[in-house]
Amino acid sequence: MSSDPFDSSPNFSQLQIENLRLHEENKRLKEHVNLLSQRGWNNAGSSSDFNIINSVQLVTNIANLRDTLNEFTNLKLGNELRINQQAAFQLFNKYKCRRSIEFTKLYHSEIDVFNSNISSAPLDNGLDFRQILKFALQRLIIETILEKTQQYIELVVNSRPNNKIALEENLEANIIKISNDFIVHVNDFDKFRSGTDDLTKNLPVKIRQQTAAILGARAFNKESHPFITHLTKELFDLLNQHRTISNQQKLQEIHQMIPQLIRDVIRVLFFNLSAHEPSPKVKFFEAGVPLDLELMEGAFEPNESLNLEVEICAFPIIGTDLNNRDRKLFKKAQVYVVEKNRSKNTLANTLASKSD
């Protein structure tokens, strides 16, 4: 008789054969579950390959967000769009865009670089003011959303909502508060109770990851959420300070895009990063920092890198151990670069020749 337990011999009924199959399948699934459990708990707190948001998915989410921001801040709408030059120059000053600031001091009242014919081509050997403004607006949008989200969460965490409506509207912040409190108690438990075990030591990391994962999947997914509604208006007004769009249909389309853009920025840069272990950090490079090909990307030739510096950083670098050589990058910073030590006279001569 065959030794194969699945042999359809007359000594085995179909029911017995099926029972053996299920037994073997159950054994295989238990082994798989045990393996996942060991990876998920025993390696928490280290750079394990078991993450709720894996590295590949995180890189994809970051890239998609950057593409969305590039599309959202498009300033090439022809005659339907006019730039508020004064507000644009104030934004350049906010981010200390050195070369752009030099220009504003020379010609801010003499020429409209955004809306006149001269702005249709890059100025001063590549100084494209619309592109610089687009990058500055992207950074402003990201920073505003992250700052307002942090303020909102802190406000709710430190308040005591006393009705069901307030509790429901602030579910996201309350979940963060409860999980943070739980982590504090677990850490205290590990500190003040005798004994050692991996489960207790690793639990805070897993709680943080699980909390960030569920919030990254569904946070603020409610029509007319008060926080999203308020921030949508604030961002819309902020953008309108810097440009005017005469096409009302296009303006309405932009307004309708903002709520989802807010959710995407929060999901990726606020929650997805926290769901990863170790949590990646976000950093904008400031104007004047020398171009570093390992950390930055943009519209430049690699062989020119030694003579270039950052004018504006539109999208931050994202990674772990950013200040160390063994860092892990999920996305390089997107930067607009200019030549180092370009003199005011060169800029003035270039503009004078273009206006002749």
Residue by residue, what is the 3-state secondary structure of 233-298?
HHHHHHHHHHEEECCHHHHHHHHHHHHHHHHHHHHHHHHHCCCCCCCCEEECCCCCCECCCCCEEC
| Neighbour count for residue 151 (Cβ, 10 Å) | 10
Q: What is the pLDDT of residue 227?
A: 96
Q: What is the pLDDT of residue 266?
A: 97
Distances (CA, A) of 84 to 89, 109, 121, 123, 141: 9, 13, 18, 18, 17
Q: What is the pLDDT of residue 223?
A: 84
Q: What is the pLDDT of residue 304?
A: 78
User: What SS3 class is residue 333?
Assistant: strand
The full set of domain ranges for the chain reads: 1-35, 56-355
Residue with tokens 């579950």: 33
Q: What is the pLDDT of residue 109?
A: 54
Measure the CA–CA gap between 32 and 13, rounded to whole angstroms. Answer: 29
Measure the CA–CA gap between 188 and 204, rounded to whole angstroms. Answer: 11
Q: Per the confidence metrics, is the pTM higher than 0.75?
A: yes
* Angle (CA) 135 310 139, round 5°: 30
Measure the CA–CA gap between 289 and 316, rounded to whole angstroms. Answer: 14
| Neighbour count for residue 103 (Cβ, 10 Å) | 23
Q: What is the DSSP string of 131-192?
A: HHHHHHHHHHHHHHHHHHHHHHHHHHHTS---SHHHHHHTHHHHHHHHHHHHHHHHHHHHHH
Measure the CA–CA gap between 21 and 40, rounded to whole angstroms. Answer: 29
Q: What is the pLDDT of residue 30?
A: 61
Cβ-proximal residues to 230 (8 Å cutoff; 6+ apart), any chain: none
Q: What is the pLDDT of residue 325?
A: 87
- Residue 12 tokens read as 């085995």
Q: What is the pLDDT of residue 99?
A: 84
Q: What is the pLDDT of residue 286?
A: 97
| Neighbour count for residue 117 (Cβ, 10 Å) | 9
Strands 296-297 and 333-339: parallel
Measure the CA–CA gap between 348 and 102, rounded to whole angstroms. Answer: 10
Mind listing the pLDDT tens digit of every residue in the chain (356 residues)?
Answer: 444 444 444 455 667 666 776 777 666 666 655 554 444 434 444 434 345 678 888 999 999 999 999 999 988 777 788 889 889 989 999 999 988 887 766 655 555 666 655 444 444 445 788 899 999 999 999 999 999 999 999 998 888 766 777 788 899 999 999 999 999 999 999 999 999 899 999 999 999 999 999 999 999 999 889 999 999 999 999 999 999 999 999 999 999 999 999 999 999 999 999 999 999 999 999 999 999 999 999 988 877 778 899 999 999 999 999 999 899 999 999 999 998 876 444 555 555 554 44
Residue 162, judged by CB atoms within 10 A of its CB (0-12, 13-18, 19+), counts as exposed
Phi and psi angles of residue 45, each rounded to the nearest 5 degrees, phi first: 95, -10
